[in-house]
Amino acid sequence: MNSKEIKQIEKYAEEYNIPIMERSGLRFLIEYIKKHNIKNILEIGSAIGYTAINMALIDKDIHVTTIERDNERYFEALKNVKAFGLEKRITLVLADALNIELENKFDLIFIDAAKGQYINFFEKFSDNLKEEGSIITDNISFHGLVERPELIESKNLKQLVDKIKKYIEFLKSNDKYITKFYKIGDGISVSRKKDKDD
């Protein structure tokens, strides 16, 4: 179902260099959502709506709020969401995620926006996470460069990879959360709030 339309989004992403999630990472994300019966999702970084649509398609009770700061990508996402008839279950927000306040609480927060801002996204939106909720982050490995910094040539890229490393350290040393790291797709982390048994 819908696979032709999904492939069209993948093709568009390739053509216009939009960094959508790797298929294996997406499969992991989908399985996680099913396994934990997740219904309310906040995504930081919609791009053209690829992950938001894939998450919403899992189950008709799922609602995704997704934030994108780039005008062109936001409108492309809007178009794609409409093509799937998902406008009631995907709320697209055109904004810089660091400049908005959300009231709702979510079962899952999926962080997939500017890699240099990961700690800021995590800290800002952890207030919007339900007690039993999880925060999943994509691109924790950044094309393998986090593990192999010797491959990095440009200074900007090195700074970015250093920030991802700092984020990993931040997650490891965060005593309110337990984080697991997965070498799937471009590297994924899953952080869950500790409870009294942890």
107 touches Mg ion by CB under 5 A: no
Task: Compute φ and ψ for 177, nearest 5 degrees.
Answer: -130, 150
| Span of 42-50, 124-132, 150-158, 176-184 interacting with ligand SAH by CB under 6 A | 42-50
146 binds ligand SAH (CB under 6 A): no
114 binds ligand SAH (CB under 6 A): yes
Which among Mg ion, ligand SAH, none contacts residue 78 (Cβ within 5 to 8 A by kind)?
A: none
Residues in the chain: 198
| Binding positions for ligand SAH, 1-40, rule CB under 6 A | 19-21
Other CB atoms within a 10 A radius of the CB of residue 169 amount to: 11
Give Cα 70 distance to the centre of its chain: 16
Using CB distances below 5 to 8 A depending on partner kind, what does residue 146 bind out of Mg ion, ligand SAH, none?
none
Residue 53 interacts with which of Mg ion, ligand SAH, none, CB < 5 to 8 Å by class: none
Residue 68 touching Mg ion (CB under 5 A): no
Footprint (CB under 6 A) of ligand SAH, residues 66-105: 67-70, 73, 96-98
Radius of gyration of the chain (CA): 16
117 φ, ψ (degrees, to nearest 5)? -110, 10
Report which of 106, 107, 117 is spatially closest to residue 139, judged by C-alpha positions.
117
Residues 158 and 166 sit within 8 Å (Cβ to Cβ): no
Which residues of the chain form contacts with ligand SAH (CB under 6 A)?
A: 19-21, 45, 47, 50-51, 67-70, 73, 96-98, 112-114, 117
